[in-house]
Structure 1
Amino acid sequence: MSSPSVAVVGLDCVFPGAPGPDAYWDLLMRGGDATGEQPGPRRFGPGYETPVHGGFIDDADVFDNDFFTVSPREAAAMDPQQRLLLQCAWRALEDSGRSPRSLAGGDTGVFVGMMGSEWGQLHLGDYGRVTPQLGAGSSAGMAANRISYHLDLKGPSLSVDTACSSSLVAVHLAVNSLLSGECGTALAGGVNLVLTPALGLVYAQMGLASPDGRCRPFSADANGIARSDGVGVVVLRRLEDALADGQRVYAVIRGTAVNQDGRSNGVTAPNRHSQREVVAAAYRRAGVTPDQVRFVEAHGTGTALGDVIECGALGEVHGVPREEPCAIGSVKGIFVVLTEGALGHRRADQGGARA
């Protein structure tokens, strides 16, 4: 018998070429191309003139500070990732059919995944210009705390950095918080903005960066990782509570699991056996068997090392007698296979999976 489930009752997102959920769905359905050169206002400045290709969102700096009662000075010092999350969380709550203000004073939790803060790297090194507003505006923890503060939410509020799996682990923690009774509603999401070329240079030196900024997961033409902007938030509730309140249910999370690679051939290298085990653990907790899974939304780094290991791990789990083949895809490359009513899971670098 499977454990209690969690419902996705609201969502919002902004991704390259897709300023909202409907636009994102359209982008996926038509196999659109959301990659390009970094916007002019976001040039990295003297010392780095090489154009950077990847996925970039428009108007990442636009923020209605008056709506959130944030002073212009404070808004100017805030990491744009914090501003994007705050706006996205508000829209996701509205999408769930509940006024964000109706949750004020309650136990709603906020769980945010974000991989570092390039805003802080850019601004905190100039010691003569450091201010309290900049300190709070550059804090990764504040990415979640601002949502809780401005909406007066008193449940757990935390930011998670587990590299590429940060937002997935945030969902895992939110699900556990809901099922333990720690909160009645949870906001879970992630954000990333490419503001410096530093991480791209690291990937390039490791031989992992796609020269043209295009990620081609599981393709013979795959040539590396592509960096991208994006923000997304989902509203989660226990399934029984969502149904009792008549809320729309987008999807049901039946089980989650998280692990770590442990020892591999390098601290940044994945481990096939750990990937296999975390997927199997998610299925056990969900009460499903691999032969029931018809589509896997994979991590899909587009690297020779990562894709081979991930496919090997997924093959070990799903290579069982089945009536239908199991499709594998990754939205990083836009080319996806969708099966109506399919169960799925995701796996990211540090071992998160859900079913």
Structure 2
Amino acid sequence: MSGPVAVVGLDCRFPGAPDPDAFWRMLLAGAESVSPRPASRGAHAQEPGAPGGFLDDADAFDHAFFGISRADATAMDPQQRLLLQTAWRALEDAGLSPLQLAGSSTGVFVGAMADDWARLQLSDTAEPTPRLGIGAGRSMLANRLSYQLDLRGPSLTVDSACSSALLAVHLAVNSLLAEECDTAVVGGVNLVLTDALDAIYRQAGLAAPDGRCKPFGAASDGIGRAEGVGAVVLRRAADARRDGQPAHALLLGSAVNQDGRSNGIMAPSRRAQREVMLAACRRAGVEPAQVSFVEAHGTGTPIGDLIEARALGDVYGPGRAEPCGIGSVKGNIGHAEGAAGIAGLIKATLTLRNGVVPPLATVGG
């Protein structure tokens, strides 16, 4: 089975943008949403946490709506709760009834890298219980959604660090084309509940002092952390067309690789980035010179952005009459880590749907 895959539904919640319409308005305005760390994210910090992009009311959840007991909801990682709500709305956006998918081969693919909730719960309680174990397990980010909606397709949580959500998309596309599932819900989620990664970023020289990502800007000085959740619903384009489902965008091809041995395990490889972009173009049947816009990784670290910009130039620079635009949603919301990829995909999807490329939000030029 081959052919494009359609994005038929989406939903998201990012700092300063509680839904896709608000997210698009933020992007069009070139605005950013960085704020002081809420008290609920700083209770375990040894010193005041850095500013960043934080969700409002991330703990709000109607457990009865999903048929979940209060005790189970209390023990659940709030990332599970965010995914349930967002995936439900994405399915509705696709014109699908979540309840009517029960028993179907619908797959669930989730990208995530944070397990702050697990560390907090399993260290703060004197007696770990099965309920806490289920509520804190990272695999349950995907499995909870499959269980609650009785979905029988593949169900997995992917952790490849900052590329987690995009790798989840890649796996979902391949699953659809292999006919393992007919519909795929793909999500990414990130909540900042402790300062563990803040300390690591500071010690590694990766943290922006003001908590802001400044991708590809002269003032780029590190990462600003962010929270967020997003979900897309994917179907084979031929199936969506047959069923009269409008497509927000088409995914023509994807590719994945690893840096291998580079200048340090946290350092990117220009060669590897070049190779994976060329592989994606080949699989999509698209010449690099035909690409007019790239939603890049663009974290705002001077070394990472420089290597990425050079790799992008290697691939998309030669043989073109017009420049290729480059963007990074991290300038708007910060680096959402495990959810960063889904934020970029939703931005790219909204860009195609609206026919407008939003400006690159950056501070200091």
CA distance in 1, matches of 2:83, 2:290: 35
**Counterpart residue type for residue 245 of structure 1:** D
Q: What is the Cα deviation at residue 133 of structure 1?
A: 1.0
Q: Name structure 2 gaps, 5 residues minimum.
A: 334-346, 358-365
Secondary structure, in 3 states, of the residue corresponding to 2:109? strand
Query: What residue in structure 2 maps to residue 314 of structure 1?
Result: 312
Q: Would you say the 8 A contact 1:261–1:271 is kept in 2? A: yes
Q: Which of the pair has the greater relative contact order for Cα pairs under 8 Å at 6+ separation?
A: 2
Shift of 1:30: 1.1
| Separation in 1, partners of 2:356, 2:312 | 16
- Indicate if the aligned counterparts of 2:50 and 2:209 stay in contact, CA closer than 8 A: no
Distance in 2 between residues matched to 1:302 and 1:313, nearest whole Å: 16
Q: Give the CA deviation at 1:51.
A: 3.5
Structure 1 distance, partners of 2:71, 2:2, is 48
User: Secondary structure at the residue paired with 2:6?
Assistant: strand
Classify the secondary structure of the residue corresponding to 2:126. helix
Q: Normalising by structure 2, report the TM-score.
A: 0.90
Q: Distance in 2 between matches of 1:270 and 1:204?
A: 18
The structural deviation recorded for 1:85 is 0.3
Q: How big is each residue's C-alpha offset from its partner over 1:188-247, in whole Å with a ceiling of 9 and x where there is no partner?
A: 010000000110110010000001100000001011011100000000000000011111
Whether the 8 Å contact between 2:42 and 2:48 is mirrored in structure 1 is: no
Q: How far apart, in 2, do the equivalents of 1:71 and 1:334 lie?
A: 36
Q: Corresponding residue for 2:326? A: 328
CA distance in 2, matches of 1:193, 1:127: 21
2:117 maps to 1:119: yes
Contact 1:295 1:342 in 2 (8 A): no
Counterpart Cα distance in 1 of 2:180 and 2:257:
22
Between the aligned partners of 2:14 and 2:165, the Cα distance in structure 1 is 15
Deviation at 1:50, TM superposition (A): 1.1
Higher helix share: 2
1:30 maps to which residue?
A: 29
| Structure 1 residue ranges without an equivalent (≥5) | 344-355
Q: Distance in 2 between matches of 1:32 and 1:314?
A: 25
Mapped contact 1:188–1:233 kept (Cα < 8 A): yes
Counterpart residue number, 1:280: 278
The CA deviation at 1:52 is: 2.2
In structure 2, the residue matched to 1:20 is: 19
Q: Which secondary structure does the structure 2 equivalent of 1:216 belong to? A: coil
Q: SS state of the match for residue 112, structure 1?
A: strand
TM-score, structure 1 normalization? 0.93
Structure 2 counterparts to residues 1-355 of structure 1, below 5 A: 3-45=2-44, 48-126=46-124, 128-334=126-332
Aligned residue identity for 2:285: G
Provide, for residues 274-314 of structure 1, a one-character-per-residue CA deviation record: whole Å limited to 9, x for no partner: 00000000000000001100001000010011001101111
Structure 1 residue 3: Cα displacement: 4.8
Measured in 2, the distance between the counterparts of 1:219 and 1:194 equals 25
Shift of 1:116: 2.9
Q: How far apart are the structure 1 equivalents of 2:140 and 2:131?
A: 11
Once the two structures are aligned, what percentage of the paired residues are identical? 61
Cα drift, residue 267 of structure 1: 1.1
Partner amino acid, structure 2, of 1:49: E
C-alpha deviations, 1:68-89, integer Å up to 9, x for none? 1111111011000010001111
2:176 is paired with a residue whose SS is helix
Q: Name the Cα RMSD after superposition.
A: 1.8
The structure with more strand, counted as a fraction of residues: 1
Contact 2:41 2:193 in 1 (8 A): yes
Q: Quick check: 28-37 or 86-95, which moved more? A: 28-37
Q: Quick check: 1:10–1:92 contact (8 Å CA) kept in 2?
A: yes
- 1:63-106 alpha-carbon deviations (Å, 9 max, x no partner): 10001111111101100001000111111000100101111101
Q: Is the 8 A contact 2:9 2:92 kept in 1?
A: yes
CA distance in 2, matches of 1:41, 1:199: 16
Q: Which amino acid aligns with 1:54?
A: G
Q: Secondary structure at the match of 1:124?
A: helix
SS in 1 for 2:187: strand
Q: 1:138 & 1:39 partners in 2: Cα distance?
A: 22
CA spacing shift, 1:136–1:243, aligned 2, 3 Å: same
Give the distance between the partners of 1:286 and 1:51, measured in 2 at CA. Answer: 43
SS at match of 1:50: coil
